[in-house]
Amino acid sequence: MDTHIFNIHDVVLFMTMIECVLLALFQWALPVTTKRLASALLIGFLLITGIQSLCILVLWNDAVHISTFFDLHIVPYLLTFAVLAKGPALFFYVLSLTQHSFVLKRKYLTHLAPVAAAWLCLVFFAIDSDDLRWRSATATATSQQVVNYLWHATKAVPFMYGIAAVFVIHRYYSKLKEQYSSIPSSEPSWLSVLTIGFSLSWAFSIFVHIGAQFLSAELSDWLGISENYLIFILINGLFTYSLAYAHNVQTTKAEEVTKAPTEDRPDESAIRKVKSGMEEQQLFLEHNLNIEEFSTRIDLPVRDVSGVINKHFGTNFFEFMNSYRVDEAKRLLADPASKDMTILDILLQAGFNSKSAFHRFFKRLVGMSPSEYRKQALQATKAA
């Protein structure tokens, strides 16, 4: 009666598996939103992670059995699928959240090529769970080498997709600044933190895999086990993010739609229209204005607006709009008639909708805080 089937580390794997299934069901049961594909990809990523946890549990815990055939012959296929498909699942989830009208295309099936290659190796060399654990009495030198290559691939492939996802988010930040005048900091930053977190966990897995050749068996086991805890934490973070922020994430248009023209010098009439929109219509005062709305209001194609802002003014739409908002805030702060307005009132009236963004921009462009600027400006006015 003193025999334990699970230790605390196996409990974490079991909890991860169960939680992934429950979270996937919960995500599926949520009301339909505009980001259906993102929701479906998140469900897929959760289920893939759950399958991976199940397979690791069955593979390495001798006390856990489903059936002899399943444990010995099915687990290798499920495990290689889960480990090699989790990277593409996260990558496409990030794409579906950040890109406007993103759709899955048939050509994307090529991202499952590593899974197909791994399965061919499993079939051709008749590799089973004992081979994966290096416990087979009939293993040949060739099959052992293939197993080594399979483990190398299962560590390297997810990490490469993690890096690709981080790169997508980096480009996403740049595109947001080309297309939006206000960017909520919490939404993309959370996505960035989680994506980097998964990438680092997969990098850590590579480190443990390589380090196992030089470290003691006990230390290698502890390092490998710690990855399971990290994945458990990241899965919870990813689901929490999807509930709190994913439905509000700003998407970006395709680069072809907003890319500035290739001419060196923008047309003078286009420059006048952009200036008119800012100086006469004062469109920068409108909260959450994006480049498409701005182009419509000044009757100028988006590409031409981008060309004027990028090449004539040497900046992006985000910086361009907020520089005008800072100038308006400076005017209000220096105006004795506005001395009873709070800083919050002023930043909202100037077109900002984020206190942190306002203070960041103001200090960077003016060199002091809004309160300091107001104090100096009003003192100078009084002295005059």
Instruction: Specify the residue for token string 């701005």.
Output: 294
CA distance 67 to 70: 5
CA distance 181 to 177: 7
CA distances to 251, 263, 270 from 301, in Å: 19, 15, 9
Burial of 262 (0-12, 13-18, 19+ CB in 10 A): exposed
Answer whether 58's CB lies under 8 Å from 66's CB. Answer: yes
Q: In angstroms, how far is CA 170 from the centroid of its own chain?
A: 9
In the beta sheet, which residues pair with residue 252? 99
CA distance 232 to 49: 10
How confident is the model at residue 145, as a pLDDT? 93
Structural domains in the chain plus CATH codes? 8-248 (1.20.1070.10), 263-383 (1.10.10.60)
Q: In angstroms, how far is CA 72 from the centroid of its own chain?
A: 36
pTM, two decimals, is 0.83
Give me the helix-helix angle, 317-334 and 355-366, nearest 10°: 80
Write the single-letter amino acid at 129.
S
- Along the 384 residues of the chain, how does pLDDT read in single tens digits? 344 455 667 788 888 999 999 888 988 887 766 678 888 999 999 999 999 999 999 998 888 888 999 999 999 999 999 999 999 999 999 999 888 888 999 999 999 999 999 999 999 999 999 999 988 878 888 989 999 999 999 999 999 999 999 999 989 888 888 888 887 665 567 888 889 999 999 998 898 888 877 777 777 777 777 888 888 888 888 888 777 766 666 777 765 455 555 556 778 999 999 999 999 999 999 988 999 999 999 999 999 999 999 999 999 999 999 999 999 999 999 999 988 899 999 999 999 988 888 998 899 999 999 999 999 988 887 776
Helices (H), 70-185: 75-98, 113-124, 129-132, 141-179
CA distance 194 to 187: 11
Answer whether 151's CB lies under 8 Å from 209's CB. Answer: yes
CA distance 268 to 357: 32
Give me the DSSP letters along 283-349: GGGSTT-BHHHHHHHHT--HHHHHHIIIIIS-S-HHHHHHHHHHHHHHHHHH-GGGTTS-HHHHHHH
Answer whether 191's CB lies under 8 Å from 251's CB. Answer: no
Written as six digits, the tokens of 292 are 């498409």
Answer whether 130's CB lies under 8 Å from 72's CB. Answer: yes
